[in-house]
A and B are shown apart, each in its own frame.
Chain A
Amino acid sequence: MNDMRLTERVVTDTAKMTARGVQVHYGTNHALKDVDVDILDKTVTAFIGPSGCGKSTFLRCLNRMNDTVASARVTGKIEMDGQDIYDPRVDPVQLRAKVGMVFQKPNPFPKSIYDNVAYGPKIHGLARGKAELDEIVETSLKKAALWNEVKDRLSAPGTGLSGGQQQRLCIARAVATSPEVLLMDEPCSALDPIATAQVEELIDELRSQFSVVIVTHSMQQAARVSQRTAFFHLGYLVEYGETGKIFTNPDDPRTESYITGRIG
């Protein structure tokens, strides 16, 4: 049934981010080998592959979160709208405002729901005054499909929400800085099926505003939400293409083995 939906997907062709020859070393461990990927604008791109294949590593290269890992060394070229994000003049702080991230485990700040969402806009000076900030918080929570559940308790601690709500709060927090690309590192792995469905629906809606890159272990999820899929294996990008093609007619035998459950 999913396969039938896949064929209907529309894919834009403008590349938002391009990666060429990206290599990542953690100390002596060569984690990512020569990866070339184009992340298309207003598209959901899924990274799949067995554990330790480098898909999360590559995701963290896209907003330079790997900078925080002391032993990590990134080479190659990653461009966003034609600008090299690893240019020494690039401030990773500004980059991360444009490339938002949602993590595997929901990690709201131990602050109120309002403060969680308002934090990004505050530090980037996106709002002039309280009213504008209120508006950003409201629209972000609405985009994350959380507004109706929390609008009466915005001052309640974000950590008091359920797991699924926390993850949507994290999405709202990432959306609040109006990013151009949203990276999601296994956003549903800690969620139950209902919360997962909500988040997936959300991802599909967010696609109209920006590119979404999602790392997932669930091939069904990749098939459901993404238009493009990249399959990583042992640090190599094995295959990258339209989701429908990857799941129905992959070029590489390794991809086929993985999606049919023979490796991974």
Chain B
Amino acid sequence: MTDTTAAPAFRGASLTEPDARTRRRNAAERRFRLLGVGAVAIGLVALVILLGSILNNGLSAFRQTYITFPITLDAAVLDKQGNRNPEEMKKVTTIGYGKLMQQALLDALDEQGIDKGDLTDKEIMALLSKEAPADLRDAVLADPSVVGQTIPVNAFATSRLDGYLKGRVTMESATRDANISPEQLQLADRMEAAGLIEKRLNWGFLTRPDASELRPEAAGLGVAILGSAYMMIVVLVLSLPIGVAASIYLEELAPKNRWTDLIEINIANLAAVPSIVFGILALALFINTWGLPQSAPLVGGLVLTLMTLPTIIIATRASLKAVPPSIRDAALGVGASKMQAIFHHVLPLAMPGILTGTILGLARALGESAPLLLIGMVAFVRDFPGAPPQGLLDPASALPVQVYTWTQRADPAFVERASGAIIVLLVFLLTMNALAIILRRRFERRW
């Protein structure tokens, strides 16, 4: 009898003095907590490094070096007929404009009293982007009335000069560079001092089409952004109704049997299929069998729809499942049909979840590049696609693929532009995710 009243042997005498076992347990807890903090810290550091390097490399892509000087658009050269007819003025090629520009630049240097050094006229002209005469020509053809006037022109500087102002190109590296010489850079220093050369915000990075390998300064994301936008429209228009309809059928109407189980498993598996596999499917089906054009946003949108559908279906089914059955009972109990119960009560309650899933699926599709490579969206596209719906069949590029193509190019100036494109992509993704969070908060209801 005395045994039962005695304190068990393992129990310590004092409450304030932890015994060995308690100390071990507490130590294990502290270790685990430290591990957790460490894991989070590693993640955060990685994120900071990633964002830091992208911002560090890419933010400069939004600013570009311009050379500003007055140019007299000589009517005798540009419009020999003198009737300002753009059709006839097209006969003057960019070479003609280039000569005019070269003269104007040299005149501007003389006027400012800038020492040209030993540089030839051609070497001075090489400070300008090769795109500059073409831009001037486009501007003149768009508005022929400027012919005969003297207008200030903001021309892109060549990417080497741009790199010099951004610190990418140095005097030392210029000695080994066939495209630029230290003498040219010294002239550029003098021009900058005189206010001819300046770094400014470059909206063209967002609005211009891609440019050739030799003209990184003129390359922009216009076609890629438009192409991505077209694809997102296609994905949204196709995957939201199909995905929601499929989910409603599977979740609310379909009998639960072996077939629906099989379908369910396959949808879950499809969500995990590598995206490039969808690309191969699209290449075989949409392009080879159906004969749809390559590089078209429609085809890209179709692939991404295939890829996004499982995500949307899973998210939609989860949010349908989260609607309490009592709501369905209530609706059926007052004599609503199954469809009425779903569309009047269940779907509105599930909507925030569905929209969140859709936006997250779209965000994933927006960042996807692998399937697009296979359907030819990696092509060099300089022409903007037309307005939808016809424009959906025009060749276009896509943001993530543009990043990929730019990183493939030799000129280091494209590294900066690729990082800039990543920033644009991230801004779009963050905006979409923020929208998803706002929608979820806004429409979240309690019952």
A interface residues (Cβ-Cβ under 8 A, vs B) = 63, 65, 68, 70, 93-97, 100-103, 105, 107-110, 119-120, 123-124, 159, 170, 173-174, 176-177
Contacts and interface: CB of A to CB of B under 8 A. Distances in A.
Contact of B334 (A70, A110, A119): A119
A105 B344 CA distance: 21
A96 B192 CA distance: 84
Contacts of A170: 330
A120 B446 CA distance: 22
Given A70-B256, A103-B326, A93 B335 contact: yes
A100 B330 contact: no
Q: Main secondary structure on chain A at its contact with chain B?
A: helix
Given A105-B326, A109-B327, A63 B333 contact: yes
Contacts of A96: 332-335
Nearest to A68: B332
A61 B332 CA distance: 14
A105 B255 CA distance: 27
Interface string B334-348: 111100100011000
A129 B331 CA distance: 22
Given A119-B344, A120-B335, A177-B335, A108 B329 contact: no
Contacts of A159: 446-447
B249 to A, nearest CB: 15
A204 B176 CA distance: 101
B340 A123 contact: yes
Interface in B326-380: 326-337, 340, 344-345, 349
B328 A68 contact: yes
B349 A110 contact: yes
A100 B333 contact: yes
Nearest to B330: A107
A212 to B, nearest CB: 15
Given A123-B340, A159-B446, A159-B447, A107 B334 contact: no
Contacts of B335: 93-97, 120, 123-124, 177
A257 to B, nearest CB: 33
A159 B446 CA distance: 8
Given A94-B335, A177-B334, A103 B329 contact: yes
Nearest to B334: A120
B264 to A, nearest CB: 15
B445 interface: yes
Nearest to A96: B335
User: What 3 A-B pairs are tightest by C-beta distance, nearest first?
Assistant: A97-B335, A107-B326, A120-B334
A110 B344 CA distance: 11
Nearest to B337: A93
Given A173-B334, A174-B333, 20 more contacts: A63-B333, A65-B329, A70-B255, A94-B335, A97-B335, A102-B333, A103-B329, A103-B333, A107-B326, A107-B327, A108-B330, A109-B327, A110-B446, A119-B331, A119-B336, A120-B334, A124-B335, A159-B446, A174-B334, A177-B335
A95 B337 CA distance: 11
A110 B348 CA distance: 10
27 contacts: A63-B333, A68-B329, A70-B256, A93-B335, A93-B336, A93-B337, A96-B332, A96-B335, A100-B333, A100-B334, A101-B333, A102-B333, A103-B333, A110-B327, A110-B349, A110-B445, A110-B446, A110-B447, A119-B336, A120-B334, A123-B336, A123-B340, A159-B446, A159-B447, A173-B330, A173-B334, A177-B334
Nearest to B446: A159
Interface string B32-51: 00000000000000000000
Contacts of B340: 123
A40 B445 CA distance: 41
Nearest to A71: B256
Contacts of B345: 109
A102 B349 CA distance: 21
A21 to B, nearest CB: 26
A68 B252 CA distance: 10
Contacts of A120: 334-336
B114 to A, nearest CB: 74
A251 to B, nearest CB: 34
Interface in B284-336: 324, 326-336
Nearest to A91: B337
Nearest to B254: A70
B391 to A, nearest CB: 42
A233 B345 CA distance: 36
Contact of A109 (B255, B331, B332, B446): B331
A102 B329 CA distance: 10
